[in-house]
Amino acid sequence: MEAELAVEPQSLKKLSFKSLKRALDLFSPLHGQFPPPDPESKKIRTSHKLNTEFGGVKDTATSNAKAAAQSKAQQASAPSNVLALPGSESSMDPQKGVPSKDMVVGPTIQPSGSTDNGIPGRSTAVVPGRGSSERNFSTSAIMERIPSKWPRPVWHAPWKNYRVISGHLGWVRSVAVDPSNTWFCTGSADRTIKIWDLASGRLKLTLTGHIEQIRGLAISSKHTYMFSAGDDKQVKCWDLEQNKVIRSYHGHLSGVYCLAVHPTIDILLTGGRDSVCRVWDIRSKMQIHALSGHDNTVCSVFTRPTDPQVITGSHDSTIKFWDLRYGKTMATLTHHKKSVRAMALHPKEDCFASASAENIKKFNLPKGEFMHNMLSQQKTIINAMAVNEEGVLATGGDNGSMWFWDWRSGHNFQQDQTIVQPGSLDSEAGIYAMTYDVTGSRLITCEADKTIKMWKEDETATPETHPVHFKPPKDMRRF
């Protein structure tokens, strides 16, 4: 048995060129000549165009005569087994078999005959329906240019930092605003929950009880309850009239990363490192469902009054819609390529945005149709995002970048960088959580330099001082 010959290693480029050459040899053996036009296909194309232009009325006698003349010309020419290319007969130079300059012009152009030197003459425009016997119906004539229908962004005033609150002794990991809009609470890696006055920024209360950092906070709009979740696997319910823990929800097998309270039903949703989103009855402390299906940490969750009532994002790069009645998955969105660490539901519209390291995407509700990507890439891990009723989407990154977006168009109108407090390292410029207040006019961010920063719109800014620099996208990536 003969030894097998060693195969010469070839580059991908070389192989692809070989493949192209084989295809060319297979379909077009005569490289020097251009193929003659196919009268049948030209007749179909012409009749279709006439039908669309003149509402179905066409001169059959003219088209028949034209087809006969073309078939005679084809019989006179040399036979060829080459594929026919779209284009009119008059767009070929009969002397050389080379296409003339009139090959890609619109439907109302009639090429004149060639000069004595064999050079094609200039084409003259002919108005349709005025005795034009020959038209050039090329592909460019069928295609029409569509103007960009991308919505122009609404002008928004730039946001500025107006207050820095320090008081925590560790990274500030979570934030929630009270529905009365008078105070807000923050959870930190120093294992405390602090309650602050929203107007003045003064500390009102410090609550202790967790033994690890506090990753999630939520305040009930119907009861005097606040809920907290942390890396210590504990989910706690605080009574704000007594300022103490009245219930604990046991069941998570690892750290709890996110938390949400249902707007209409007395249930609580928590997601964590055990890849499960757990649904709790607030009163009885019972676990109603364990929404399992993710392959990795559930790091973001939000809830809404109508189906899908629960939406989760995970480190496995998927977003899942859940049927709360049966505890089953309704849909899985696999558009992201990286962990979905943050999601934001629009307060008025039926859509939400989700953020991962490669892109920020918008989805429709209730079916979850992909709408579009935001028009820029923040190029960092996005830990937090929030949107207000005016359509200002704010996103905060691991590197301290703070970007503001127009919700409707996806235009990024402001890029800011948070400044660390004195004594901190530049690497501590990370944003972990953010939320708007109830009015949407103040933004609260929680950061890695142990501070809480508050932002508001610049009242002095006008469209003249800060114009919108917007270019509509030429080709939108649909993934």
pLDDT digits (tens, 9 = 90+) for 5-30: 566 677 777 777 777 767 666 666 56
Q: What is the mean pLDDT of the chain?
A: 82
Confidence (pLDDT) at 51: 57
What number is the average pLDDT over the span 25-50?
68
What confidence tier does 439 reach under pLDDT thresholds 50, 70, 90?
Answer: very high
Confidence (pLDDT) at 117: 43
* Amino acid type, 318: T
Q: Phi and psi at residue 191, in whole multiples of 5°?
A: 75, 15
CB atoms within 10 A of CB 179: 11
**Given its phi and psi angles, is residue 77 left (phi above 0), alpha (psi -120 to 50 degrees) or beta?**
beta
* Amino acid type, 213: Q
For 342-358, the pLDDT digits (tens) are 999 999 999 999 999 99
Least confident range from 138-142, 207-211, 301-305: namely 138-142
Q: Please give the Cα distance from 294 to 291 (Å, whole number).
A: 9
Instruction: Indicate the angle between helix axes 60-76 and 39-54, nearest 10 degrees.
Output: 160
CB atoms within 10 A of CB 10: 9
> Which carries the bigger pLDDT value, residue 153 or residue 21?
153
For 51-73, the pLDDT digits (tens) are 554 544 444 445 555 555 555 55
DSSP line for 165-213: EE--SS-EEEEEE-TTSSEEEEEETTSEEEEEETTT--EEEEEE--SS-
Confidence (pLDDT) at 74: 53
Residue 109 CA to its chain's centroid (Å): 43
Please indicate, yes or no, whether the overall pTM of this predicted structure exceeds 0.85.
no
Confidence (pLDDT) at 115: 43
Confidence (pLDDT) at 62: 52
Confidence (pLDDT) at 474: 76
* 392 pLDDT higher than 50: yes
Confidence (pLDDT) at 215: 97
CA torsion sign for 462, 376, 258, 206 is: negative
* 34 pLDDT higher than 80: no
Confidence (pLDDT) at 30: 65
Confidence (pLDDT) at 65: 54
Going by the DSSP 8-state scheme, the letter that residue 114 receives in this structure is: B
> Which carries the bigger pLDDT value, residue 105 or residue 327?
327
Q: Which residues contact 20 (CB under 8 A, 6 or more apart)?
A: none
What number is the average pLDDT over the span 67-82?
51
Beta strands per DSSP E along 240-364: 244-249, 256-261, 267-272, 276-281, 287-292, 298-303, 310-314, 319-323, 328-333, 342-345, 351-355, 360-364
What confidence tier does 48 reach under pLDDT thresholds 50, 70, 90?
Answer: low
Least confident range from 5-9, 317-321, 419-423: namely 5-9
What confidence tier does 213 reach under pLDDT thresholds 50, 70, 90?
Answer: very high
Judge whether 432 and 385 are in contact, CB under 8 Å.
no
